[in-house]
Amino acid sequence: MTNSNALRITLGLLALMTLGGCATTPVQPWERGRLARWDMRWDPDPLQASMADHTHFSKEGSNGHIGAAGGGCGCN
């Protein structure tokens, strides 16, 4: 085996090992307790989130970006 072939094989094996690092063990259905926690939610407080959104689209004139109807006047 030439040096260049040995180098290729070593690099190939290293690449495979790197790919192996991408393999994940999926979270099983019964392991989702922590993910289901209230403080793991994207918006833990829906009321506060909707108020923040309202302020945002009123300031930006971008009403509708979260699915609400209206013209961006901030009055609805």
Smallest separation (angstroms) from another protein to the CB of 16: 6
> What are the structure tokens assigned to 69, written together?
């109807």
Q: Report the half-sphere exposure of 39 (CA within 13 A, side-chain side).
A: 0
Smallest separation (angstroms) from another protein to the CB of 51: 25
The Cα 49–Cα 70 span in angstroms is: 18
- CB atoms inside a 10 Å sphere around CB 63: 20
Binding test (CB under 8 A) with another protein, winner from 6, 7, 10, 15: 15
Say whether residue 41 binds another protein (CB under 8 A): no
Where do contacts with another protein occur on this chain (CB under 8 A)? 8, 12, 15-16, 19-20, 22-26, 28-33, 36-37
